Amino acid sequence: MSEFVIAAPKIHTVPVSGGGEFPVRRVYCIGRNYAAHSIEMGGDPDRDPPFFFQKNPNNLCASDQFIYPPKTGDVHYEIEMAVALKKGGINIPVSRALDHVYGYAVCLDMTRRDLQGAAKAKGRPWEIGKAFENSGPIMPIQPVADVGHLDHGRVELMVNGETKQVGDLNQMIWKVPEMITYLSEYFELGAGDVIMSGTPSGVGPVVRGDEISASIQGLNPLKIKVI
Ligand code: MN
């Protein structure tokens, strides 16, 4: 093989609870996967086909600090569950989908809502609102061997001790196996892919100094300060 002509970028990784690093290949995020959140974002709560957008792999950051991003005055939190894949494929049947999961973690889909809203209004892509630096705070991934598969459990996000978002994993319109199957019909999934599984209602803004606590029953909670 010939040499790289510039320094090769590092493979981005997220720590694994208990040791090791999970290399991130792609990040898929589902939109409007809880009926109440779909309604608050102006959508239809019916079970329309799901839609996905992407973040960049190196937007996922295991840190206790969230750096308030530039070019926005309206950054929102969205608590989500990250699903980390250990193998990929195409046309994965629902019955086999969970065999592809390495583990789970609490994460945040931080969003420049003002920029996302402006993009939406013009029918433009969402990356400017979604795929910015540090936009995916995430906890160390917990292997299925330790936590099993999660299909129910309380989801809660607090800002400065005040509850802002509450839901349950069992309220997801598209369940984890269904999301894997759907994505695998449109993309070739691979080991290292991470799926962010959508947020309950109650999204809202943060400012510098705020402390966000995000928890999903059965997983280690995420605490992060906005700086
Ligand atoms: Mn989201």
Give the CA diameter of the chain: 56
Q: Tell me how far apart the alpha carbons of residues 79 and 164 are, in angstroms, rounded to a whole number.
A: 10
Q: What is the DSSP string of 186-203?
A: HS-B-TT-EEE----S--
Name every residue whose Cβ is closer than 8 Å to that of residue 78 and which is 6 or more positions away in sequence.
108, 109, 110, 111, 165, 199, 203
pLDDT in tens, 16-41: 999 999 999 999 999 989 988 778 87
Name the nearest CA neighbour of 128 among 111, 140, 143: 111
Q: Tell me how far apart the alpha carbons of residues 55 and 28 are, in angstroms, rounded to a whole number.
A: 7
pLDDT in tens, 206-221: 999 999 999 999 999 9
Do 37 and 164 contact (CB within 8 A), yes or no?
A: no
Q: What is the DSSP string of 31-79?
A: S--BHHHHHHTT---S-PPP-EEEE-GGGEE--SEEPPPSS-S-EEE-E
Cα of 146 from ligand 1 centre, angstroms: 26
Cα of 115 from ligand 1 centre, angstroms: 15
Cα of 132 from ligand 1 centre, angstroms: 14
Cα of 7 from ligand 1 centre, angstroms: 33
- Give the lowest-confidence range in 34-38, 49-53, 146-150, 202-206: 34-38
- DSSP letter assigned to residue 19: S
Name the nearest CA neighbour of 136 among 28, 11, 210: 28
Cα of 120 from ligand 1 centre, angstroms: 15
When pLDDT is cut at 50, 70 and 90, the band that residue 42 belongs to is confident
How many CB atoms are located within 10 Å of the residue 108 CB?
Answer: 27
Cα of 18 from ligand 1 centre, angstroms: 27
Name the nearest CA neighbour of 147 among 198, 84, 94: 84
Cα of 3 from ligand 1 centre, angstroms: 39
| Strand pairing class (194-196; 27-30) | parallel
Q: What is the mean pLDDT of residues 36-59?
A: 85
Tell me the torsion sign for CA atoms 188, 51, 12, 9. Answer: positive
How many CB atoms are located within 10 Å of the residue 121 CB?
Answer: 8
Q: What is the pLDDT of residue 45?
A: 64
Does the predicted model carry a pTM greater than 0.85?
A: yes
Q: Tell me how far apart the alpha carbons of residues 10 and 21 are, in angstroms, rounded to a whole number.
A: 13
CA distances from 82 to 30, 104, 115, 118, 208 (A): 11, 5, 24, 27, 25
When pLDDT is cut at 50, 70 and 90, the band that residue 158 belongs to is very high
